[in-house]
Amino acid sequence: MIRVDGLGKSFGRRTLWSGLDIAVEAGQVVAITGMSGTGKTTLLNCLSLLDRPTEGRITYDRTEVTALNRGASRRYRRDNIGYLLQDLALIEDATVEENLRLARTTRRGHAARRQEALDRVGLAGREKEKIYHLSGGEQQRVALAQLLVKSPPILLLDEPTSALDNVNTGVVIDIMSELAATGAAVVVATHNDQIRARADVEHELRHCGDSGLEAGVTAR
Ligand SMILES: Nc1ncnc2c1ncn2[C@@H]1O[C@H](COP(=O)(O)OP(=O)(O)O)[C@@H](O)[C@H]1O
Ligand SMILES: [Mg+2]
């Protein structure tokens, strides 16, 4: 469903990674691991077309998405991608409900879907609260509810459990699994052993040599 072929990313003379080959089928969870600085976030940004690789290509269902222009990239992102950023990217000054309305979807039954998603993450009844009044864990659950509302065919998660307790880690894994079960292709950058255990495939980005970073991928 998603194919990454010979992907590389360089900044000037520094190569972050090169020669990455990754395939993600519908319903699969692929974990991207590797130390801080090995380029996990950059890879997710390339998959979401927020950043551009310097070599190689990404295809989704037969479309070479790395060849799309700006407008088409924006539509691709809107229609196909749910991206849980490491810093969540919620609108702090807006309410829980207003943030959920931003999870654009072409499906019907928006209000019911929002309600269902809030129930699912344990935030029913908190619709009118401002994001800045919520704890970090609660804000994380709002971001997860956005993903449930959108129910995207491609789900990207950037270290979704880095600042969470075990309860919320369980919620993250449940929702990730639920969306995969409905056919989403999931790519998750993580260090978390519970998430790694849930993943179908793991690719490790790693430092090689001492002249900066080079590609290093382990599939399991
Ligand atoms: N636009 C950029 N220009 C130069 N270096 C960058 C740029 N974007 C990211 N980097 C560098 O790429 C490296 C990998 O970053 P990142 O993808 O955030 O890694 P990770 O998510 O694995 O910690 C970092 O050293 C970062 O400074
Ligand atoms: Mg990162």
Here the CATH number for the domain that contains residue 168 is 3.40.50.300
Q: Indicate the pLDDT class of residue 207, thresholds 50, 70 and 90.
A: low
Residue type at 104 in one-letter notation: R
Q: How confident is the model at residue 167 (pLDDT cuts 50, 70, 90)?
A: confident
Domain range for residue 29?
2-92+151-204
Examine residue 134 and state whether it is found in any structural domain, yes or no. Answer: no
Q: Is the pLDDT at 125 greater than 80, yes or no?
A: yes
- On whether residue 186 sits in a domain, the answer given is yes
Find the mean pLDDT for residues 31-43: 95
145 within a domain of the structure (yes/no): no
Q: How far apart are CA 76 and CA 4, in angstroms?
A: 16
Q: Across 59-63, 105-109, 137-141, which has the greatest mean pLDDT?
A: 59-63
107 in any annotated domain: no
Structural tokens at position 168: 């919320």
Is 48 contained in some domain? yes
Instruction: Please give the distance, rounded to the nearest whole angstrom, from the Cα atom of residue 99 to the centre of ligand 1.
Output: 28
* Residue 213 pLDDT greater than 50, yes or no: no
Which pTM does this prediction carry?
A: 0.90
Which of 10, 42, 45 has most ligand 1 atoms within 8 Å of CB, for mutation?
42
Q: Quote the number of domains for the chain.
A: 1
101 falls within a domain: no
Q: What spacing in Å lies between the alpha carbon of 163 and ligand 2's midpoint? A: 13
pLDDT tens readout for residues 54-96: 999 999 999 999 999 999 999 999 999 999 988 778 888 899 9
CB 16 near ligand 1, within 6 Å: yes
* Residue 112's pLDDT band (cuts 50, 70, 90): confident
What is the number of the ligand 1 atom nearest to the C-alpha of 44? 17
Tell me which residue has its CA closest to atom 9 in ligand 1: 42
Residue located nearest, by CA, to atom 27 of ligand 1: 37
41 lines ligand 1 (CB under 6 A): yes
Q: Are 152 and 80 in contact (CB under 8 A)?
A: yes
Residue 36 has pLDDT above 50, yes or no: yes
Mutate to test the pocket of ligand 1, among 7, 13, 15, 16 (most ligand atoms within 8 A of CB): 16
Residue 121 falls inside a structural domain: no
pLDDT at residue 208 above 60? no
User: How far, rounded to the nearest angstrom, does the alpha carbon of residue 198 sit from its chain's CA centroid?
Assistant: 15
Q: How far is the CA of 40 from the centre of ligand 1 (A)?
A: 8
pLDDT attached to residue 89: 80
Confirm whether 110 is domain-assigned: no
> Average pLDDT for residues 202-209, to the nearest whole number?
78
Residue 162 CA to residue 203 CA, distance in Å, equals 18
Give the CA angle between residues 175, 178, 179 to the nearest 5°. 90
The answer, yes or no, to whether residue 212 has pLDDT greater than 60, is no
Between CA 187 and CA 213 the distance in angstroms is 22
**104 pLDDT band (50/70/90 cuts)?**
low
